[in-house]
Structure formats: C-alpha cells, structure tokens
Structure 1
C-alpha cells in the first residue's frame, strides 16, 4: 500500500494523517497514543536511511513509473572495444572496474523528475490515452488524430545527455565537416570515479550511433585529496579555491603543483604548502631569467662553435638527458615524473651549479662562450616549461623577442648527445664542493672565514680538474688556498671528509674554538643517539608496524636513515677535531 503523495505528504491511505509530512505525522501519532493512554515509551531507533547529498534530507522510497533503456545489446560491443584495446585505458588497471560494471550491467533508468535537462521525447494523448514516442515533435495523436497531446515532464538523466557529447556537439545527426574531422578524437582525460557514469556510456553510444568508438585513449586522473588523504569536497569544506590561489600565488603555481602531484594512483594529495613551494620555484625561474638577460644586455648569442669547459659540456648533456626524460614521461602520461625532472634540472643543475660557475667566468670576463650557453639553455628551459606553466614562460619568451611569436606554437626541444663521462667528472667536482660546504655548515665555521683546503687523491684526472677550477672552487666554498697532492697529511684540528676518489681536510684551529666545538658536537651526538634509539624502538615494535598508518611507518624509516647518516657525520667530525 502506498501512503505517499508525489510531494512527500501522506495520501488518503493514511486516514486521519493525510496531508501531513512524514515527520508531522510521527509527531501527531505520538500525541494520539499519549491521549489514548497506550504509549509505553519513546526511544531513538538507529537504522540506515538514505539522505539527499545536497540538503541532507531523509529520502522516502516511492515506487513510480520510469523510462528505461535496455543495456545488454549496447554493452557487448563496448566491452569488446576495451578488451581489444581499441580504446586504451591508462592506467590499465581501471579496465577491471570497467568490465565489472559492463559485464553485470542492468537496464538503465533514464527518466528524472527535475526541471533542468533534455525533456524525454514521449507524449500522451489526452483523448485516447495513447503513449507516443517520436523522433519529431508530433502535432497530433497518430491513433485518434487528436491535437490534445502533452509531453512527459520528465527529463533525461544528465549522463544520458553527456553520453552523446562526443558527436552531438558537432552537428549530429547531420554529417558535418567538424564531425568527420574530430570524431573519433584521440584522448579523453577524466576521473576514474565516473568510468561507468560517463566513459562507458560514451563508448556505448558512440559505437551504437556512429559505428566507431568516440576516442582511442582514456587517461584517468587521480582524485584530488587534501593533505590528510581525504577527497576534496565543497560539502566537507576541505577544498582549495582555485580563484583564491590565482590571486595569491598565480595559476602557474597551481598548475605546476597539480602536475607534480598527478600520479597513476587513486589519489593525489595537494596542500597549500605545495602551492607555496611551486610559487617559490616560479620566483626562481624569474630571477634566473633576469640574471641571464642582465648579463646579455642586447646580445642574443648563439651556441659557441667550440665547447670545452666542463660545466658547459655538463649542462648541455644534462639538458639533452632532461629533454629525453620529459618527452618519454609526457608520452606515457607520467606528468609527475616529467615535472620533477624539469624541476631538478632547473633548480639544481642550472641554478645551483651552472649559474654559480657562470658568475665566476662573467665576473672575470674570461670568455664569451658562457653567454651563448646561458641563452641557449634559457630558451630550451622556457619551451620545456610551457606545457606546465604557460604564463610565466610566455612572459619571459616575449621579453626575449624570439621566434616564433608565441611559445604555444614553438616546437618541443629536441635532444642532442648526452655525455656520461662529462657528467661523472662534474659529479666528482660537485662532491668536493659539497664536502667543503658541509664542513663549513656542520662545524659552525663563520661565513666570512676564508678556508684552506687540502685534498689527498691518487686520481690524476681529479687533481687536474681541481687545479684547473681553483678560481671557481674558491668562489663556491669561500677558500683562498687549495693543496692537491698524493701524500698530503691532515694538520691537527682539521675537519675531514672521505670522498669517492679523495680525502679532504680543512684546518680549523684558527677559525673556530676547537674545544667548544667538540663539546657542542658531543651534545648534539647524544641528542641524535636518543632520537635514533626511539626511532629504532618504534621500528622493532610489531604493534607500531601493524597499527600505524603506512605513511607514518614510511616516515619513521626515513627518519631513522637520516639520523644514522647524521650520527656518522657528527662522529667523524668529532674524531677529526679530537686528533
């Protein structure tokens, strides 16, 4: 027995409660039971009931007549299209979810009792009661010829209309030039949460009405989550408003953050600190470009005919390798790996190393080749950046005044030859610089103190390289003197670093208070040992490993590795100073 009207009130089957809402009827019923002196008690009764996702109102089930589409016949060719990779899913694992839906498909209720949407093409004759389904709007009933007909007020499920999108927006059912050119398209990018709602239905409708699949590849993005791994939703209040981000950080910062966060997993975590980090990266790019342009002035030099300096050959090799890496990752839809590779090249290879070495050569006006390298790499960087951060890259490109007139129509960079031997030599040079910098930082050597560095090595190539680059080494580490020998020994009170092909010493007796520094190192070493013991207790505790979230366990492992490395460095520094 149905007790509900279409507006949610009780009908005549509810007798005295007719016309009331369900909640009103329940309240009235309790009062009537009290009046009749038959009410024993009122208590909450927890149970599961559906709620509207928009307004959270409890949903009362009501059986009604609806329109359905028979789906088995439509699903069969769509299943085969994905089985045969006529439509390729990226990542492939989402095929399983697709097949689970499609192989167990039910008839589709396509009618909705809403005021917004495509009205269902069904009419009713008021004279004879005939139901009319027609491609064209009928003027009369085909049975009794009465003009008293009205269209069903229901509208199509929005996903039904959306399923027609790939061809309906280009003039279908007419055979337009746009339809012939753009259908099928090459790629659809969407979320995995609407594989059945949209992707599957577009494939079914495309094959049925057009005889061809609507697209060749589908790339499924992960869902955007907050920093706690919870899906962003306006109802939860955990969204990041893109318009607010635009005003505070710029759209390029948001774009680059999303590119870095996009993996082939289920979710991508995005936090404001990530966007701030991307903003800082864009500031780095702007300052890098400004430095290059300030040193070029009106010059727009080409690559030098001969390239002999290690850092020049290094940066061109790394550029070539980065182009290959980015191209491969973009082609395979690994956007995070592509953006991380570009970030590492710009920030570390170019800004941290090449620019710093270029400053020395520019300051001493040693050669003009460095300007050509700087300008070439800057142009290639802008081309690589443009798919990720189009606004800042285009702005800098316009300042350069280069062809083509816009980066949006520029060809993607082509790799030259990379040189592993050159990169290995540069890595050895960087290892020496980093070792001296670590000594200065970890032993509290004053920033304005000029160092004397002693290097013991049996590698003639490294000896020659360090001797040739002494001017650059002095600028990078704040040193005045380098001694590079096979048989050199450490003076008392020297810090020591063991490298791959060398041993390095920095005398500190005249630069710091050795006794005070040893005391500080012992104290810090004890603190590290305490923290390390705590981390190791956690990682050997079965309860922690089983119950703690995976991210927490992973973080604890990383913490242990960092503490072990720090303990080793502190102990080595203390031992060296005590000798």
Structure 2
C-alpha cells in the first residue's frame, strides 16, 4: 500500500473498475431492494441537497447488495419543461433567433440538441460521487416507452372522467407564459403599500355616499365585479344589497357578505376580482359574479379600458392610483408587508389569472392514497412527515396539469373544428373519425412535469408495455427525497401507482433534513453561501463528503453545513465570496486517512499470516470481538431502519476510538512477538476485525474501504462466505461492494458482556490517568501511583486486571479498596467515574500553587470573554446590524466558553 492515500486518483479509477465489472447492474438475490432516484433536471448540476439524497440512496443500495438481496438502482433525468425551454430560449436569443419564428417542430429539435450537448452533467457528477446506480440503463422522461406510459395515463384518466378542461384561476408567469402550480410558487416577503380607494354608491345608504376599499393591487380594480364584507362587521353590513358604481369603468357591482372577509383587515370592504385572485374566484363562484379578465398572457391590460389598455401591470398600477388621486378618490396610502408569489424559474412575480387549463379531478384518487399511509403500508421516516402528507391530502384540490410550453409531453387531445369531435388518443389523429375532416388539431399545451414524473417508479420498469420487468422489483423498497416535494411528487406517485398498478410505489419514504448555510439561512447562489459538492470532492474526496453528510443526518428538520468563505476579486473587479473550507468535511477526510494508515500498519505486519478463525486469547481480544459483534448487530438495525446518521457516527467512533486507539495499540506487542503462535493469533483477530469494519463502513465510504480491502489477505469472514474454500475467497478479482455484510447472528457467539464490562472498567481508569498527565503537562511515560475506591464487585474486577492497568496505563503502585482504607492522599488529583473514584498521585511533579494560579487566571479570562460575548448578543442594536454568520459565530462561542468555564472550575475544585 502507498504511504499516502490520494482520493483524486483512487476514486475515479475505482468508479471505472466497478462499472467495467458490471457491479452496478441489477443483481439477483433473496429479497429485493429496488430504488428509483428522484430524477434530477436534465439541465441541472449537483447541489448539496442532491449530494445528501444520493449518498443516502447509495448507502442503502450498497448495504442491501452486501446483504445478498436483489438490487436495482434506477438512474435517470427529468426533461425539466420550463427550465430547459427557458435555457434554449436564452441561447436562441443570444443568436438573434426566436422560437416563435422557428416554429414548434424546429424549437423542439433545438431543445433535443441542447439536451444532448449540455444535459446530463448531473449524472456524471453523481457517478463521480461513487453512486452505484445502473448507468448503463439510464431513463429519461421523454424516452419513447416512457412517453407511451405518460400518454396512456392521460388517456385512461380522460376516458375515466378524471381529466377535464376548465376555466379557473391559476398561477401565471407572464415571463415564461405558462401556468405554475401552487406548490412551485416561491413566496417572498416584500414591503408594498395598502391603497385606500373610494368607490361611489349608486344610491346613498343612511346618508353615506361612498365606501372605501383597501387593496395591495389597485390596478386590478378594473376587473372588480363585487364588494364583499364580513357578516360580523356591524358597520359594513348595513351596505349589503347596495350597489357601487366602479370608478373609471362605470360598472355597477353589488355589495354582499362572505365568510372569506376578515372584518379587521383594511376598511372591512374588500374589492372582489374573480379573474385575478383565488379567494375572489371562490367568492365569485358562490355569488354568481362575472369573471372579468383584464390582463393578457403578458400581464398587459387588454383592450376596452381606454388609456389603461396596453399598459403593463406595474404601469397600470401607477396610472390607476394617479387617476384616483386626481379625482379626489384616493383616501390614503400605507406601507404594508405582504408575501408575494414568484416564479421559481425566472423570479417574475406571478399573476393569479383566469385561464382555460386541463385538470385532474383528485377526489377518487386521494382516498386510497390516504389509506395506504394511515394503514402503514407506506411508512415515513422520520414518522412525523406522515402528518404532512395526510394534511395535504385532506386539503387537496384538483390539479392543473397543462403548461403553455413546447418542450415536454404534448397533451394528446385532438379536436375537429368542423363537427366538434374531441377525444384523447394514444396515436396521433390526422383525419376526424366522425366526419372525415382533415382539419383535426392537437391541443398545443404540454403536461406539467410532475404529471410525467409521477409515473417514475413503474414507467421506468417497463409499464405498461413490458410489465414483466416489474416482477420482483415492484413495489420499490424505498424512496429518498426532500420534504418540499412530499405533495408535489410523493403523493402523486402513490395516487397514480394505486390507480394503474393496484400497488403502492414504495414501502418506505425517507425524508432527509434540509441542508442550510452555516448561519441557518437557505443556501443560494445570490447570497454567495451555496457550496458546490464537486469542490468538496476535489478538495477532500468523495468519501469525506459522503461521510460528513451522513453524520449530519438526524431527526431534525434542518441541519447547518459549516462552510467557510473568503472574499476575492472577481473578473469585473467586484468582491465575490468563494468557498474556502469545511472543518467537518476536513475532519471526515482525517477519518479517511485514519482508515488508510491503520490498515496499512496492520498489513505491513502480516509476515507468517495464515487464514483462520479469531480466538479470544486475551482480555482485549474478548472485549474487541464482543464490541465488534454488537457493532455489527447495531449497524444492521440502523441500516434496516434508515438511521444512517447513527450508523455513520457510531461506526466511526468504533473504528477510531475502540479499534485504532485501543485494540491495535494493545496488539502491537503481540505482532512483534518472537512466538509465531502469539503473532498469528493477533494477526487473525486483527484481520477479522478490520475486514468486518471495512464491510460496515463501505456503504457510506465506498472508495477507501474498497482500496484497502483489495490489499487484504483472506479473513475468517471470507472463508465463511465461501465455505472454507481459500482459493475462491481470495480478493483478486473480487470487490468489497459485492462481499457479504457481516452476519449478526454468526457473530453473536462472540458477545461477552462480562468481558466488555471488565475491560471498559480498566480502560476508563487508564484513560483518566492519561488525561491527568495531559492536563498537567506530564510525560506520557511518567509512572504514577493510583489509589482506587470502588464497590466490591468493581474493585474485584479492577484487581483482576491490575497487571493490565499498570502496563498499559504506566501505573506504578495500584491500590484498590472498597471503604475508608482508601482516602484522597495529599498531592493527588481525582478521577470521578460512575463505578469508582480514583486518586492519581502527582505529588512534587505538579506545583499545585502555580497550577492553581494558572487555572484561576484562565478561568477569569474565560469568564470575562463569556460575559462580554453574552452582553453583545443581548444588545438589540448589534443583532439588528450584524450579519447572521457573525451572530451564529458568537452564539457558538458562548457554548464553547461555558464548557471551558465549567471544566476549569471543576479542576480548581479538585485542587482545593
């Protein structure tokens, strides 16, 4: 093995070796683990959410592959309708071209060209991460067979009465010129205004000749068809039944009461514009109000409104306000904080707009999809996300599935203008089947991307043309995804799968935590706090990034990523933030190095090694084998329950803290023994434990474990896997990723609770003595006498391990007692443990007076800084002006200082 491990060289080479050997292709076995990747946009690049998602999926797939189960990880991309069309539009614009001039057919060809040239970058990046999906059988939501499945779903639902065309309010993007779903709209808080406009009454009411409405959108008053009040508002209710003459337009509109109105908002009178607000639309439906659409698809005022026609919505707003002010009808203007919907692609403010669209009627679909979650057939991890799913289902409304785009699955509805025939057809129709006309046209819209991606679990596996491919692989085992698409995607997959396959799409849904910036804010390019996973891989290696991400997994909703940035001058001379480091990922890289170095040390000491079963010849052997058996059992349980954070953190603690820091150190003498039998016993145990540990670590850290395992001699695990056939068990030509996961039941024979208890007792005492040496700057080889007071049971066990404690702990005289015969000697420092109290005699080796002064000085300094930092954080002025990352740093510093003060105070108390 080379002295240093270089991930930048090893990792890409291993990816190619695994793929060339066919390791990523679907495997056969007992039980099934089929996983479908949440298809990333074909236009996308890897971000931290992808990296977390894909790391979790790969760990699950690798684990199940090692368990001998049939595995299939389906990789592919979504055609990303809006995103791709937007990118191609921009490219054409830069070339002086327009899609409207090109026509639909040529534009779609241009989208395909763009996809072939620029798409799929993210798949290459996922591959570089070490994700073991079947890249030889990639799927795309516009593949021929997939498109056939999408068309079948539409046609079947159309003929079953679940798809219909209707005129309703949608979220419209005037820039992309398409509808956007409610779930895809991004809400941004903005400071706007509340304009108070006076509307004249046709006839005075109780001597009052006008009412005043408060609105954040005065431009839409051109489309007002009613005024609503709350029945709880005594003053406003007196006007119910009256008629208002709408300024500018002259339209007479009624005043009515409705439950939608909040009596405490504004003036209590709400202008109702059914074509431009969802709540207004609902009120308009309930009170039979006309629906007047004042904007075209570009949010420009349509003809018929005089000087306002042809104005964009912002221009129209200013003009309407000016008109009211000029006519003495603008009562007042107030600042108003409100949330405004934006397009998630182009950031344009969305327009609630009445338009004709295609919808899926969900009433027949949501019942079964709700029941499978309530019954536990589909399980959420963490469990709390089940309620999010059920709540959304309870409030689910018909789903708008049409998008005014050219790139995507075109809606297969054909119409004959000559006789009025209309139908959804699996094949394109050129001639009307009723009247023979050749004027048949196809609906120009395409389907919402989520409509096609809802079929992903089964359409990627041959449905409906080759359903035999699904045998043994459906339902899939687990879906790993983010919480923000539980409604957009997870629920819709459940609904469509139940309808078309009569089966759930997956057994489990794992929702991972959202990765936030260090200060707790959302990562974004505009803020300059986003982290490119490929930079992390380049700097630290894929294993380090993957392991760090897994250790971040908890049951919390969000986790903070500790990226640090520095400012540099950009090409335009302006300062920009660039990634500098991630301390946690750096620590994970240190763990990768530890695995390599520890393994290299062991493999350099294998002279005379012969494969054989491990034997507990010493106390540390019995302890280590028992700890290993329990670690295997615990890791197996965690992996089965998708608790990958616990798995990653605790396996590292075991490997580094128990195997490396203790067991390997304790075996070094035996490895150098002149007695071949002693040396061979240690070698067999170490190879066995190292092999098992590499297998445990492999799902999360596939590269370094594979690279080490390739150099390993045959272990007892290999022999067990191949029924003792040593030739077949050789690692030449074999890969760790295809080796067997350690069998918890087979290793249970090594569990020895008594040996663990005894060894841990001695280990804690030795660790305490070492800690005192470090605290008082004594040489690690300084022999110290120790007195121990313990209960009879523990005292007896410590006495039995006296030679071990003296040898390993560099302890001279060891006195162990159970009562008053053991007191705190002068010149000693105390170790407090739940099982014992030990007094380490440092005597003249430590100047206690000087040490006390040093501790008092350090304590005073820490307390001063702690109080100052707390005072700063309590200052409202500081909190208002300081950057979030500065506040986060100071908050973290408070935690550090409080721990320091506590530790120093305890040391002073001990000296006293």
**Contact 2:770–2:780 (8 Å) recurs in 1:** no
Residue 15 of structure 1, CA deviation? 3.5
Q: Partners in 2 of 1:472 and 1:33 — Cα distance?
A: 90
Name the structure 2 match of 1:277.
587
**Contact 1:521–1:570 (8 Å) recurs in 2:** yes
Matched, 1:431 2:764: yes
**Contact 2:626–2:752 (8 Å) recurs in 1:** yes
Q: Partners in 1 of 2:386 and 2:786 — Cα distance?
A: 61
Q: Partners in 1 of 2:673 and 2:356 — Cα distance?
A: 86
Q: Relative to 1, partners in 2 of residues 1:317 and 1:56: Cα closer, same or farther, differing over 3 Å?
A: same
- Per the alignment, in what secondary structure is the counterpart of residue 50 of structure 1? strand
Q: Partners in 2 of 1:236 and 1:529 — Cα distance?
A: 35
- Per the alignment, in what secondary structure is the counterpart of residue 616 of structure 2? coil
Name the structure 2 match of 1:349.
658
Name the structure 2 match of 1:546.
none
Name the structure 2 match of 1:440.
773
**Contact 1:325–1:341 (8 Å) recurs in 2:** no
Deviates more, 1:62-71 or 1:359-368: 359-368
- Per the alignment, in what secondary structure is the counterpart of residue 423 of structure 2? strand
- Per the alignment, in what secondary structure is the counterpart of residue 62 of structure 1? strand
> Among residues 503, 510, 520, which one is paired with 2:838 in the alignment?
503
Residue 323 of structure 1, CA deviation? 0.9
Q: Deviations over 1:271-311 (max 9, x none)?
A: 2222122111111111111111112257354345x523111
Matches within 5 A, 1:237-252: 237-252=528-543
Name the structure 2 match of 1:385.
697
Unaligned runs of 5+ in 1: 544-548
Q: How many residues align?
A: 557
Deviates more, 1:164-173 or 1:16-25: 16-25
> Among residues 731, 738, 742, which one is paired with 1:409 in the alignment?
738
Matches within 5 A, 1:131-142: 131-142=422-433
**Contact 2:862–2:900 (8 Å) recurs in 1:** no
Matches within 5 A, 1:8-407: 8-16=299-307, 18-23=309-314, 46=336, 48=338, 49-234=340-525, 236-271=527-562, 272-297=582-607, 299=609, 301-304=611-614, 306-363=615-672, 365=674, 367-368=678-679, 369-400=681-712, 402=714, 403=729, 405-407=734-736
Q: Deviations over 1:112-145 (max 9, x none)?
A: 1122221111123343454332232112123321
Deviates more, 1:334-343 or 1:294-303: 294-303
Q: Partners in 2 of 1:313 and 1:444 — Cα distance?
A: 33
Q: Relative to 1, partners in 2 of residues 1:550 and 1:531: Cα closer, same or farther, differing over 3 Å?
A: closer
**Contact 1:2–1:13 (8 Å) recurs in 2:** no
**Contact 1:190–1:221 (8 Å) recurs in 2:** yes
Deviates more, 1:461-470 or 1:486-495: 486-495
Residue 495 of structure 1, CA deviation? 4.2
Residue 50 of structure 1, CA deviation? 2.9
Q: Deviations over 1:248-284 (max 9, x none)?
A: 1111112111211122332233322221221111111
Residue 26 of structure 1, CA deviation? 6.0
Q: Relative to 1, partners in 2 of residues 1:134 and 1:325: Cα closer, same or farther, differing over 3 Å?
A: same
TM-score scaled to structure 2, two decimals?
Answer: 0.55
Q: Deviations over 1:186-225 (max 9, x none)?
A: 2222222212211111111111112222222222222222
Q: Deviations over 1:49-77 (max 9, x none)?
A: 43323333223333211111111011122
Residue 91 of structure 1, CA deviation? 2.6
Q: Partners in 2 of 1:196 and 1:244 — Cα distance?
A: 32
Q: Partners in 2 of 1:193 and 1:456 — Cα distance?
A: 57
Residue 411 of structure 1, CA deviation? 1.3
CA RMSD of aligned residues (A): 3.8
TM-score scaled to structure 1, two decimals?
Answer: 0.84
Structure number with the higher strand fraction is: 2
Q: Deviations over 1:344-363 (max 9, x none)?
A: 10111111111221224335
**Contact 2:855–2:904 (8 Å) recurs in 1:** no
**Contact 2:368–2:495 (8 Å) recurs in 1:** yes
Deviates more, 1:201-210 or 1:428-437: 428-437
Matches within 5 A, 1:492-531: 493-497=827-831, 500-501=835-836, 503-509=838-844, 511-524=845-858, 526=860
**Contact 1:187–1:218 (8 Å) recurs in 2:** yes
Q: Relative to 1, partners in 2 of residues 1:328 and 1:146: Cα closer, same or farther, differing over 3 Å?
A: same
Q: Partners in 2 of 1:466 and 1:231 — Cα distance?
A: 56
Q: Relative to 1, partners in 2 of residues 1:65 and 1:504: Cα closer, same or farther, differing over 3 Å?
A: same
